[in-house]
Structures are given as C-alpha cells and as structure tokens.
Structure 1
C-alpha cells in the first residue's frame, strides 16, 4: 500500500496548518521549515501556488501522485464542477469515511485500521483504503475489533453531528453515508479550482 512516510511536522509547517492531525511542533514553530523559514520569502509564481494547493490536497487525504491523478481524471469525466467532484471523491474514500466517523483520530490511523481488516462495509470486511463508499453504505467496526483502545479512545466524546452527510449509530458502532457532501459542508480549506487550473496546463 503506497502512502506518504516522510516528515509530517515539516509538511504541516509548510502549509501552516495541522493537515495530518494535531501537531505539537506546529504550535511551537508556526513558521515554514528551513534555515530562513521565518524570513521574508520571494513571491510565489502562479504555477507554484497551484502546485502548493495540489500538494495540500494530496497530503490532507493521504493520497500519492499517481492515485491523485487517477481521481482527478475520474472527476473530470464526471458530471458537475470538476474541482468539487474531486473533493467529493476524496471524501468517499473508505479511510476518509472511517476518519469522519470518529473511528480513528487521523486519516493515517484510519488507513491502518482498514488495511488491518478492522473495518466492515455493509457487514463485509474491506481492507482497501481507497474503496469508494456509496450513499446508503454502512461503514462500521468489525465485531472483534470494537474494544480496541485506539477505536474506543477516538470515539469517546466525538461529535458525530458535525458532518450532516453521515448518520452514526452508537449501538452498532457504525455510520451510514446519507448522501455525497456538498462542497460547502466539506471543512477542508482547499482551493480546488487551483488544482483544476494546474492539471489543465499539463
């Protein structure tokens, strides 16, 4: 399973936000990495701004370049606004759904739970993080995995009402995707139009 394994705090500092989850380093060093991280930088080119936004989306959702490109191509062939459809497809990834449901504290942890066969979709074990969850699908925790410390701790006190496109059932430790989220409901601060502009040049 391909995934980013490099220094996460350094990337988070570059974007100035905890895109991998809570980060103590970011609160202590709230300036870009590098020898001159807190000094005045040269003006970034239009291409550089677009590339940065694509990198932000990739790191946020934990997707590498090849897979991200495939997702973009699928979005560009779909009906609707390409940038919005791109984010909706990323939101429908199983690892992201596990994260949104509060079953895991971060997307990386969610990916691990999926890969290690702790997650079920409609009652069947699915161990593919990029699996596309469809409206009506029920994502839950495998019965023998419900007592796992990481899952119990993550679910404790989690506010399931903050994502209107998901319905959580506490009695079964599972959640249903009610509908594909609208762009306004997706909390990520990604400027998806810049990604569309970047790929249109290639």
Structure 2
C-alpha cells in the first residue's frame, strides 16, 4: 500500500518539474531577466518540494508504521502546499513577463500554482483524517490520497503549460533556480 503512495509521489515529482527541456542561450535579455527573478524565488521552493517527495518515498519504502506514514505525509503535503503558494507569489511579484499577453500568462500560471497548493492542503486534511489504528481503513484511505496527488498537480501542470505557451520556457530553463532533480521512481 505504501509503495503505491510512493510511486504516486515519485510520479508527482516527475510531473512537478516546472519546465522541462534544455536551455537556449539565444533568449531575449528582458525575458532572461524576468526568468531570473522568478527562478531565484522558486529555487528554495522547488527544493522543499523535492525534499518533501523524498520523505514520502522514504517512509513508504521503509514499511513504516501507519502513524509514521500519516505524520510524514501530512508534514510533506503541508510543505508542498506552502512551496506552491510561495511559487505563485514569486511569479506575481516578478511582474508580467515581457511576452505577448504576458500578464494573462502570469495570472493563469499563478492561479495554477495556487490551485495545486490548495490540492495539497486538501490531501493533508485527508491524510490527517485517517485512522492509523485501523490498518484496513488506513490502507483504503491511503489509496484515495495517492489517487489525489495527480489531481492536485493539475494546476502546476497547467501553469507550466501556460508559461511554455508564452515562450518563457527557454528563458526559464536556462536559470539554475528553475531546475530540479527528480528522485528515482519507487519500486512497486
């Protein structure tokens, strides 16, 4: 059961790669400057998301007690939620990107990150509500929570797509702050 949650969390980490692809050195200086502002703010939050996913995976692969799984996952979901909120704030504080319809892209992307933050807050509430003393119900509840991870990440994926559509992915990919390593997928 815990391995399913770990696999879902690892999948989440892969999906969470905010922007994928290789950098391009021929980007516009204004776009690069904007991307640097955003990515410098995102870097510590991407690290928090990565660390939280690693904790979820760790506790799941250790065959930990239900209480430990609940405590670890709850804290990780809160950490991920806080990180996404901060990413939305970093995005909006950088201002509209210097691309066509930049303000609309920024607002839509920030809304996506905010939606993902709420999704993880909801997952925290769900896992906090499980009874770890009833192994059967806890396992069933864990399945529901694991299934909710993909749904929670939809906003972040839409945000990534919004930024790609605006042509900002090249500028952002060249910034160290927007790069995140992903943990290896969990074994089933």
Q: Do both proteins adopt the same fold according to a TM-score greater than 0.5, normalized to the shorter chain?
A: no
Higher relative contact order (CA 8 A, sep 6+): 2
| Structure with greater helix share of residues | 2
| Structure with greater strand share of residues | 1
Q: What TM-score does the superposition give when structure 1 sets the normalisation length? A: 0.27
